[in-house]
Structure 1
């Protein structure tokens, strides 16, 4: 799920970033990448400085899942390795567009939508209150669960 911490092994370097393999999913039909240009081009002053940040081929790195696309096989996973994102990944709420944090202390819910009549799924990331506000007012139990799910009692 987005926000989940994983271990990844660098398989190959490309002009945009790194193709990786996620530990525990080596046999799965998925493609995993780290877009180094998107993550680090704003904080580096030269191409050589950016290239120095690429994890060496064969090395293991800590990463966080930023995005999963499952519309068509193979599954496509985008990882981030920025130190701040390893603690708590920030993204935009799919309902209101405001920033939301995935991870400890964050206020995000991750929703997967699937159909019974075909392959693929779609992931939405939402503030708890944004989802709760969209559940019918008379459905009090589901609204309450949206505000509580995943939280420690």
Structure 2
């Protein structure tokens, strides 16, 4: 058994992907992420969570479900790698596809996960065994939590992922 599942590390919150709709369920749809079909991922879109406040009937909600077999644009909302299978929650809301926002796991304030946003995605793992946990934070929230005498790591928190 591998200590860490590694295939899903290519995926992160805020990333746009293509998904193929496999099945409909009362709460939403099960999909597979194109390019990761054999990765052992569980991927879904919670249509009730995303649209229940903006529709007036169940039939109107069902009309928003993408057809089975269709390939759709989506954005990764969150990934849970705590234990197999890796669980990926996606969004197809137009506003999220444009710019996905969430809350910082340190301060609780809104942050932008989409490219060009102010978020960092950290995957924490233990030396003791499998599994990992994804933490999303503002750059400044991470940098401020690094000891001042560790100036190099603080500086890297401010610069990681920025284009030169």
TM-score, normalised with respect to structure 1: 0.98
Please state if 1:21 is matched with 2:32.
Answer: yes
Q: 1:93 is matched with which residue?
A: 104
Please give the alpha-carbon distance, in whole angstroms, between the structure 2 residues aligned to 1:15 and 1:88: 27
> How far did 1:119 drift?
0.7
Count of residue pairs the alignment pairs up: 153
- Specify every segment of 5 or more residues in structure 1 that has no aligned partner in the other structure, as ranges: none
Please give the alpha-carbon distance, in whole angstroms, between the structure 2 residues aligned to 1:8 and 1:2: 15
Q: Secondary structure at the match of 2:152?
A: helix
Please state if 1:118 is matched with 2:129.
Answer: yes
> How far did 1:48 drift?
0.9
Q: 1:146 is matched with which residue?
A: 157
Q: Secondary structure at the match of 1:132?
A: helix
Q: 1:79-112, CA deviations, whole angstroms, 9 ceiling, x for partnerless residues? A: 0000111122100000000001011331000000
- Specify every segment of 5 or more residues in structure 2 that has no aligned partner in the other structure, as ranges: 1-11
Q: 1:42-67, CA deviations, whole angstroms, 9 ceiling, x for partnerless residues? A: 11111111100000000011001111
TM superposition outliers: structure 1 runs of 4+ over 6 Å: none
> How far did 1:70 drift?
1.0
Q: 1:86-141, CA deviations, whole angstroms, 9 ceiling, x for partnerless residues? A: 12210000000000101133100000001122110000000000000000001111
Aligned-CA RMSD value = 0.7
Please give the alpha-carbon distance, in whole angstroms, between the structure 1 residues aligned to 2:144 and 2:154: 8
